[in-house]
Amino acid sequence: MPTIRLLGPPEIERDGEPGRQPRGRKAWALLGYLLLAERPPSRRRLAELFFADAEDPLGALRWSLAELRRAIGVPDLLTGDPVVTALDDATTVDVLLVGEPSTAPESLLSLGGELLEGVELESCPEFESWLLVERRRVAGALEARLRQNAVAHLAAGQADQAIPFAAKAVAINPHEQGNHELLIRSLATSGDRVAALRQIAICEDLFRRELGVEVSTSLQEAATVAPQSPAPLSGRAAAVSQLQAGRAAIVAGAVDAGLQCLRQAAALAVQCRDKTLEARALAALGGALVHAIRGHDEEGAIVLHEALLVADQAGERATAVLAFRELGFIEVQAGRRRTGDEWLAKAQALADSDEENAAILGVRGMNSSDRSDYPTAFEQLGESVELAARCGDRRQQAWSLSLVGRAHLLRGEYGEATAALAESLDLVHRERWIAFLPWPQTFAAELDLHAGKLDAAVEGFEQAWALGCQLGDPCWEGMAGRGLAMLNAQQGDHSAATKWLDLALTRASTEPDRYQWVHAHVLDAAITAALDQSDHDRALQLAGRLSALAARCDLRELLVHANLHLSHLGNPQAAQTAQTLSTTIDNPALHNLISYQS
């Protein structure tokens, strides 16, 4: 049984022992590219990518493919044109295990090292660009799987088993506070408070030294595992009352009181052994932690996992749908695309109402739009809008319409964007949904800016900023600050624009549960501003951050933008990389930008 290891120094094993290895780094590079390509590449494409400097590029490709077949021991592998990678069930590829939900958790702990470690091909710059992106993407996918397992173990009361998964996630991405928080929570819950406090100190020092920022308060809170205070009331009626009061308080904006009621509802449901009520209370609490209070997605995910476990015992379908959807939302917002879509697929498989399907499709459309799969996004979001309108869920309708408007705006389709955002804003005002208003308001103000309606743009951006600050929502603040920077830049005040972008970047990236698309979107604007002012040092530093973030979070269009910026800064290969990456993105505005800059 052959095993192909591409994480760390590449190697082929047979029955656990080193086997015959392919000769040359290009053979390894070719194998990695073929195994990870989204679609089978043509022989001509492979010859151009790897053997352009050979006298007979296609002949060199044939030799390398034959060499790989001999090393792997599968005669009919890597054949045809395009070249198809058809592995049998007996062949294991470590990097492909990362993307399989069925992969045993213990196998994830054994995976490690950089993709194709030590395989560098200076003579193949386009492959080098591809490899850089894939290394970040694979590391992000493995990080997501590890986090998923850590959260599941914590929810199941298995803190000791959560520790190695959380620790490995920290090792892969030590600059993500949420990973440290998971490890701290695992250590504290297991009873090792000393180790938890030590990890807090390590994280604080790392963030100050390498990022120049302070950690959020949720890090300290993760080390505090206090016993649940006894409920002053008892019985099922009291539990129902607390659940209703908690939901009402959250809707009214009284977050602290709402969370306290929901925690009490869950505790009371346990006392009266009502699994259905306990599942509903946990799901409500998890959702509140995710949406109503910033920086608590890690705790919210654990509570939602607990809700799933109890809902399964109670046969509570609707609660499971809600928990699956919320877990999917957490992953989508964090840029963990595959795990996000897996949760949402589970939710959709159980959903049986227009309201449930509208909400799930809204988040799936958000995920597709974030990764620039616009045809799929428009289909999912359009269906979400229709279902929400049919069942009278005007908030969901407004939410999905705002994402339709965003997608049209990014594609330069200003008429369609204006119509979608106007409808979204009308619904928001009719619902008096003030907590959501800054999101569509910012996009509408950007359309006013494009149309030359400066007074309307100023009013929209300033209102969105003020309301975002009042709500304490870093996503709204980041988007509104970016808009005010664009406004100042258009008016020629580049100093003010830079100050607004610095502020927007700080707000959009501070919380551990930030919306990564907004973070990257603001970074893109900051690079553009730096290039406009010929501040190449700042632009280069920010472009490196954007490239790494977009690759890890599968933000494809923003990865193209990062490479366009890098090409302006003197990277000779970046323009070609941007061109190659853009071929899979259906965005007329993006292709016009590439044509204009090439």
What does the alpha-carbon distance between residue 343 and residue 69 come to, in Å, rounded to a whole number?
A: 37
H or E, element range at 359: helix 354-370
Region 411-423: what's the mean pLDDT? 98
H or E, element range at 11: strand 11-14
Domain final position from 310, 326, 352: 352
What does the alpha-carbon distance between residue 236 and residue 233 come to, in Å, rounded to a whole number?
A: 10
Q: What's the domain count of the chain?
A: 3
Cα 93–Cα 97–Cα 103 angle in degrees, nearest 5: 135
Residue with token string 């993760």: 222
Question: Which CATH number goes with the domain that contains 81?
Answer: 1.10.10.10
Q: What is residue 598's predicted lDDT score, i.e. its pLDDT?
A: 65
Q: Are residues 22 and 102 in the same domain?
A: yes
Q: Are residues 254 and 346 in the same domain?
A: yes
Percent of the chain scored above 70 by pLDDT?
A: 98
Instruction: Dig out the tokens for 358 from the structure.
Output: 């509208």
Q: What is residue 40's predicted lDDT score, i.e. its pLDDT?
A: 92
What does the alpha-carbon distance between residue 425 and residue 255 come to, in Å, rounded to a whole number?
A: 25
Q: Please enumerate in sequence order all residues whose Cβ is within 8 A of that of 368, keeping only pairs 6 or more positions apart, or say none.
A: 374, 376, 377, 380
Q: Are residues 280 and 331 in the same domain?
A: yes
What does the alpha-carbon distance between residue 294 and residue 288 come to, in Å, rounded to a whole number?
A: 10
Whether the per-residue pLDDT at 229 is higher than 60: the answer is: no
Instruction: Dig out the tokens for 68 from the structure.
Output: 């790989």
Region 247-266: what's the mean pLDDT? 89
What does the alpha-carbon distance between residue 345 and residue 528 come to, in Å, rounded to a whole number?
A: 37
Domain final position from 79, 99, 123: 123
Whether the per-residue pLDDT at 596 is higher than 90: the answer is: no
H or E, element range at 570: none
H or E, element range at 554: none
Handedness of CA 339, 342, 346, 348 (dihedral sign): positive
What does the alpha-carbon distance between residue 423 and residue 382 come to, in Å, rounded to a whole number?
A: 13
Q: Are residues 15 and 115 in the same domain?
A: yes
Instruction: Render pLDDT for 49-108 as a digit per residue (tens, 0 to 9).
Output: 999 999 999 999 999 999 999 998 887 889 999 998 888 777 899 999 998 888 899 999
Whether the per-residue pLDDT at 579 is higher than 80: the answer is: yes
What does the alpha-carbon distance between residue 278 and residue 266 come to, in Å, rounded to a whole number?
A: 5
- Residue 588 in any domain: the answer is no
Region 14-32: what's the mean pLDDT? 90
pLDDT band at 15 (very low <50, low <70, confident <90, very high): confident
- What's this model's pTM, rounded to 2 decimal places? 0.93
**What percent of the residues of the chain are helix, what percent strand, and what percent coil, each to the nearest 5?**
70, 5, 25
- Residue 384 in any domain: the answer is no
What does the alpha-carbon distance between residue 98 and residue 105 come to, in Å, rounded to a whole number?
A: 10
Instruction: Render pLDDT for 457-495 as a digit per residue (tens, 0 to 9).
Output: 999 999 999 999 998 899 999 999 999 999 999 999 999
Q: Are residues 150 and 64 in the same domain?
A: no
Region 491-515: what's the mean pLDDT? 92
Instruction: Dig out the tokens for 532 from the structure.
Output: 């406009």
Q: Are residues 294 and 258 in the same domain?
A: yes
What does the alpha-carbon distance between residue 305 and residue 435 come to, in Å, rounded to a whole number?
A: 26
Whether the per-residue pLDDT at 180 is higher than 70: the answer is: yes
Q: What is the DSSP string of 304-353?
A: HHHHHHHHHHHT-HHHHHHHHHHHHHHHHHTT-HHHHHHHHHHHHHH--S
CB neighbours of residue 440 within 10 Å: 27
What does the alpha-carbon distance between residue 179 and residue 319 come to, in Å, rounded to a whole number?
A: 27
What does the alpha-carbon distance between residue 109 and residue 7 come to, in Å, rounded to a whole number?
A: 12
Q: What is residue 226's predicted lDDT score, i.e. its pLDDT?
A: 55
Of 260, 176, 309, which is closest to residue 184 (Cα–Cα)? 176
Compute CA distances 280 → 16, 262, 274, whole Å.
48, 10, 10
Q: Are 54 and 26 in contact (CB under 8 A)?
A: no
Region 495-500: what's the mean pLDDT? 96
Q: Are residues 312 and 338 in the same domain?
A: yes
Question: How many residues comprise the chain?
Answer: 598
- Residue 142 in any domain: the answer is yes
Q: What is residue 88's predicted lDDT score, i.e. its pLDDT?
A: 77
Q: Are residues 250 and 303 in the same domain?
A: yes
Whether the per-residue pLDDT at 231 is higher than 70: the answer is: no
Of 284, 287, 303, which is closest to residue 152 (Cα–Cα)? 303
Q: Are residues 49 and 15 in the same domain?
A: yes
- Residue 589 in any domain: the answer is no
- Residue 46 in any domain: the answer is yes
Exposure pattern of 538-552 as b/e (b: 16+ CB <10 Å)? bbbebbebbbbbbbb
- Residue 530 in any domain: the answer is no
- Residue 184 in any domain: the answer is yes
Region 444-464: what's the mean pLDDT? 97
Q: Are residues 196 and 165 in the same domain?
A: yes
Q: Are residues 88 and 177 in the same domain?
A: no
Domain that holds residue 312: 236-352
Whether the per-residue pLDDT at 295 is higher than 60: the answer is: yes
Region 252-272: what's the mean pLDDT? 90
- Tell me how far apart the terminal alpha carbons of the chain are, to the nearest angstrom: 48
pLDDT band at 161 (very low <50, low <70, confident <90, very high): very high
Question: Which CATH number goes with the domain that contains 149?
Answer: 1.25.40
Question: Which CATH number goes with the domain that contains 297?
Answer: 1.25.40.10
Q: Are residues 104 and 164 in the same domain?
A: no
What does the alpha-carbon distance between residue 356 and residue 348 come to, in Å, rounded to a whole number?
A: 8
- Residue 201 in any domain: the answer is yes
Instruction: Render pLDDT for 337-383 as a digit per residue (tens, 0 to 9).
Output: 999 999 999 999 999 999 999 999 999 999 999 999 999 999 999 99
User: What values do phi and psi take at 149, rounded to 5?
Assistant: -70, -40
Whether the per-residue pLDDT at 228 is higher than 70: the answer is: no
What does the alpha-carbon distance between residue 315 and residue 275 come to, in Å, rounded to a whole number?
A: 9
Domain final position from 70, 92, 123: 123
Q: What is residue 186's predicted lDDT score, i.e. its pLDDT?
A: 96
Instruction: Render pLDDT for 116-127 as a digit per residue (tens, 0 to 9).
Output: 999 999 889 899
pLDDT band at 232 (very low <50, low <70, confident <90, very high): low
As to burial, measured by CB atoms within 10 angstroms (0-12 exposed, 13-18 middle, 19+ buried), residue 224 is: exposed
